[in-house]
Amino acid sequence: MTTPNVSSEMVNFDTKVAGIDPQSVHQVKLASGALMPIAAFGTFHSDWAQAYMKDATVEAIRLGWRHLDTARAYENEEVVGEAIREAIRRGYLASRDELFITAKLWNGHMRKQDVEPALNSTLSALGVEQVDMYLNHWPWPNVHTPGCAGDHRNPDAVPYIHECFMETWGELVRLKKAGKIVALGTSNHTEADLKLLCRDTDGFSRPVLNQMEMHPLFQQTELRRYMESEGLVCTGYMSLGSPNRPGRDRFKEHRADMLDPLIQAIATNNGISLAKVCLNWAYQRENKAGGYVAMATRTDWILDNLSAATQDFLTPEQMLSISGDGSALHPGIDANNRLIWGQVFLWPEALGDWRVLWNDSQVFETRAAYARFKQSFQDHYQVWQETAVSVPH
Ligand SMILES: NC(=O)c1ccc[n+]([C@@H]2O[C@H](COP(=O)([O-])OP(=O)(O)OC[C@H]3O[C@@H](n4cnc5c(N)ncnc54)[C@H](OP(=O)(O)O)[C@@H]3O)[C@@H](O)[C@H]2O)c1
């Protein structure tokens, strides 16, 4: 881990600044009946901020955040656990029960026998007996080395195979019955695999939430509406456009949400920050049915990001100008600007096209169905290699 050029502008905690009453932060009711604060403090960051995650999390709790978004993959569950205990020691919380904790099952732990040990290790690292929300982090068990380069490929990677996934999910449901998980959800799942999951689960075993990338330049409105029609709450990550995301997730096609002219004009007009425009839009859109995750390492930003979930800072006209309604008059600013391409998770038959991860063109019900596809793909590929004329460039 490196901490290069970290300045007081990037990390600045000022405990003289007053926080926000957590009760004033909007909550959504999950299908399970539980209430969830819609603003979640993210605990993943580009590598330089790992060293500040404990202080940032304590500061977030002090300022009124009551929902923490964690994951095994962020390699800092112990640090978040220490932050929770420190917040209790300092009197910012009476007990852990005042928090809504989201944790995630990592891809490398999706084999049936690995699920319970993974959850146990998360619970012990966080120092809690149960998590309020446990998300399946990605739809398939494809792993990459932490912090790997963008061109890393795992030859054992596979697409979504429902039969395999239901073995993972069955374990998660068992652990929910055992009281270690209050509610179950998914993350980065797509319409085809969620349709299968919803088809094969009932009230108790059904997911109640999907966390996915959503920000003004990547709104995912259709996918979100489908998920909401199935009773899933949708929360967005990279809600600010993740300006300091790791290099492997930066591509020349990407645009920055906070640099969009409309976002800038609304911020200037309303006298609020660019971040607040993005986050308040996330809060107000789709009848306030969803939520957002955001992280920061400065008191002013941590506070600003939470206050975006307390009241309407955008007018209905401004909301329409960002979201659009499909008409020529109101096109909105969605630019299908996906930041997480997921290329490190690609399986061989995707032929290097990251869109295959998201467009549901390779989703399989059974292992046998995928084996048939794989075989026919290999045969076809071999004939192609043997017969096609190769044009020198
Ligand atoms: N489920 C998943 O697969 C998944 C994937 C990615 C992320 N997540 C979750 O989502 C969280 C957020 O993702 P993210 O951090 O990549 O994206 P983000 O919240 O869109 O961006 C956070 C970055 O924005 C900057 N920032 C924060 N508040 C600001 C403000 N008020 N004004 C200006 N700049 C501000 C911070 O800069 P500094 O760097 O200077 O602090 C920080 O790097 C993660 O921490 C994680 O918990 C989940």
Distance (Å, rounded) from C-alpha 267 to C-alpha 278? 9
Q: Which two tokens stand for residue 141?
A: 């068990």
Secondary structure of residue 109 in the 3-state scheme: helix
Residue 385 has φ and ψ, to the nearest 5°, of: -60, -40
Closest CA to 300 of 44, 16, 91: 16
Q: Which atom number of ligand 1 is nearest to the Cα of residue 43?
A: 45
Is position 240 within any domain? yes
Instruction: Write down the pLDDT at residue 46.
Output: 67
Instruction: Return the residue whose CA atom lies nearest to atom 23 of ligand 1.
Output: 242
- What sign does the CA torsion over 321, 327, 328, 332 have? positive
Is position 151 within any domain? yes
Instruction: Tell me the best of 144, 250, 293, 299 to mutate to test the pocket of ligand 1, counting ligand atoms within 8 Å of each CB and taking the most.
Output: 293
Instruction: Return the residue whose CA atom lies nearest to atom 37 of ligand 1.
Output: 296
Residue 68 near residue 85, CB atoms below 8 Å: no
**95-122 average pLDDT score:** 98
Instruction: Tell me the best of 212, 237, 340 to mutate to test the pocket of ligand 1, counting ligand atoms within 8 Å of each CB and taking the most.
Output: 237
Please check the confidence at residue 140 and state whether its pLDDT lies above 70.
Answer: yes
Is position 275 within any domain? yes
Residue 225 near residue 289, CB atoms below 8 Å: no
Is position 1 within any domain? no
Structural domain for 233, as ranges: 26-387
Secondary structure of residue 14 in the 3-state scheme: coil
Distance (Å, rounded) from C-alpha 28 to C-alpha 37? 7
Instruction: Write down the pLDDT at residue 243.
Output: 87
**191-198 average pLDDT score:** 98
CA of 162 to the centre of ligand 1 (A): 31
Please check the confidence at residue 14 and state whether its pLDDT lies above 90.
Answer: yes
Number of H helices, E strands in the chain: 11, 12
Residue 244 near residue 46, CB atoms below 8 Å: yes
CA of 300 to the centre of ligand 1 (A): 15
Is position 39 within any domain? yes
Please check the confidence at residue 103 and state whether its pLDDT lies above 70.
Answer: yes
pTM of the model: 0.95
The better pLDDT of the pair 64, 247 is held by: 64
Is position 119 within any domain? yes
CA of 328 to the centre of ligand 1 (A): 32
CATH number (domain holding residue 137): 3.20.20.100
Indicate the pLDDT class of residue 309, thresholds 50, 70 and 90: very high
Pocket of ligand 1 (CB under 6 A): 10, 42-45, 69, 187-188, 211, 237-245, 273, 275, 293-297, 301, 304-305
Distance (Å, rounded) from C-alpha 15 to C-alpha 69? 22
C-alpha distances in angstroms, 126 versus 14, 76, 82, 120?
A: 25, 9, 7, 10
Closest CA to 125 of 176, 74, 172: 74
Please check the confidence at residue 350 and state whether its pLDDT lies above 80.
Answer: yes
Give 175-212 as a DSSP string: HHHTTSEEEEEEES--HHHHHHHHHT--TTTS--EEEE
* pLDDT one-digit tens code per residue, 203-232: 999 999 999 999 999 999 999 999 999 999
Catalytic positions, written as ranges:
74
Instruction: Write down the pLDDT at residue 2.
Output: 43
Distance (Å, rounded) from C-alpha 301 to C-alpha 304? 5
Distance (Å, rounded) from C-alpha 237 to C-alpha 215? 8
Secondary structure of residue 53 in the 3-state scheme: helix
Is position 19 within any domain? no
Residue 58 near residue 90, CB atoms below 8 Å: yes
Q: Quote the distance between the C-alpha of residue 235 and its chain's center.
A: 7
Instruction: Return the residue whose CA atom lies nearest to atom 40 of ligand 1.
Output: 10
Instruction: Return the residue whose CA atom lies nearest to atom 38 of ligand 1.
Output: 296
Is position 140 within any domain? yes
Split into its structural domains, the chain has a count of 1
